Structure 1
Amino acid sequence: MARLTMAVGVLLVLLGVGVYVGMAHAPTALIPAYFGVALLVCGALANTEDAKRRMLWMHIAVTLGLVGFLLPFVRSIGGAVKLLTGHADQVLRPLAVEESMAMALICLVFTALCVRSFIRARITRTAA
């Protein structure tokens, strides 16, 4: 899971920097990159043989993933609905909404994969 965490971190950094450099040049476009850097750090620290340390850093990473889903999703769901229903003219910053929803989707998938892994680990531990 540490490698997955680092891969998701890289993906979020690329999303944030790509939107910032490519189009937006707004500091808020880098929000996914900040989450990505935090996930990279968690993944690097979770890449150890020490089970307690790995569990700690992976739980921190999944918490960041959950926050990385909830904040942009709640903030941008109204704009996303307007974009999807063809009312893009009513959205002030459509690129920001698209970036937020991309971040939310990436973090949702990451969180779901982490929870699935945690459940498997718990089942394996109790069966042994």
Structure 2
Amino acid sequence: MTTQTPMLPTLAVIIGLLLIIAGFLSYLLAGATSLTALIPAFLGGLLALCGYIGQRHEGARRHAMHAAAVVALLGFLGTFSGVVSFFVLLGGGFVLRPFAVTMQALTAVLCAIFLLLAVRSFVQARRWRSRE
């Protein structure tokens, strides 16, 4: 019996890979000097791992997707200030590290997208189980 749609683990892998790419690009473009530039890659690795587990082990899918949602939530909360600063930057304001702010905003958006779709999937799964 599956409780989440099979699409959610695949989405976790895709968004995880996007975060990994963003993290490594950020690290390289920032001169490979700051390990904090790799934070999106670490989040992406965890998200992709959860997605992989959800794809390969149907019995663990539910737990893996809940873990992925927690990773996305922590990633969003940890980078939300970058979204605020990004809007300051777009408005012509000054921010200390524009590239870092942009990468934080990208990380927050990717995490938010996954989190919203995960919550939607969890609600649908609960409704589906209650109908049975």
Calculate the TM-score normalised by the size of structure 1.
0.89
Query: 1:46 aligns to what?
Result: 54
Query: 1:57 aligns to what?
Result: 64
Show structure 2 runs of 5+ residues with no match: 1-7
Distance apart, 1:63 and its partner CA: 0.7
Distance apart, 1:24 and its partner CA: 4.2
Query: 2:5 aligns to what?
Result: none
Q: Given the alignment, which residue of 109, 125, 128 partners 2:129?
A: 125
Q: Tell me the distance in 2 between the aligned counterparts of 1:2 and 1:101.
A: 23
Q: Tell me the distance in 2 between the aligned counterparts of 1:8 and 1:77.
A: 18
Q: Tell me the distance in 2 between the aligned counterparts of 1:68 and 1:94.
A: 19
Is the 8 Å Cα contact of residues 83 and 104 (structure 2) preserved in structure 1?
no
Q: Given the alignment, which residue of 106, 118, 121 partners 1:114?
A: 118
Q: Which has the higher contact order (CA 8 A, sep 6+)?
A: 2
Q: CA RMSD in A?
A: 1.3
Decide whether aligned partners of structure 1 residues 31 and 9 sit closer, same or farther in structure 2, where only a CA change above 3 A counts. Answer: same
Query: 1:32 aligns to what?
Result: 40
Q: Which amino acid aligns with 2:35?
A: P
Q: Which amino acid aligns with 1:84?
A: L
Deviations 1:35-73 (A, max 9, x none): 0011111111112221xx211111010011011111110
Residue identity over aligned pairs, in percent, reads 37
Is the 8 Å Cα contact of residues 79 and 105 (structure 2) preserved in structure 1?
yes
Give the structure with the larger helix fraction: 1
Decide whether aligned partners of structure 1 residues 78 and 110 sit closer, same or farther in structure 2, where only a CA change above 3 A counts. Answer: closer
Q: How do 1:61-72 residues align onto structure 2 when only pairs under 5 Å count? A: 61-72=68-79
Q: Given the alignment, which residue of 99, 102, 109 partners 1:105?
A: 109
Q: Tell me the distance in 2 between the aligned counterparts of 1:36 and 1:49.
A: 21
Q: Which amino acid aligns with 1:49?
A: E
Deviations 1:69-118 (A, max 9, x none): 111103x244223202102xx31100000000000000001000000011
Q: Tell me the distance in 2 between the aligned counterparts of 1:78 and 1:13.
A: 23
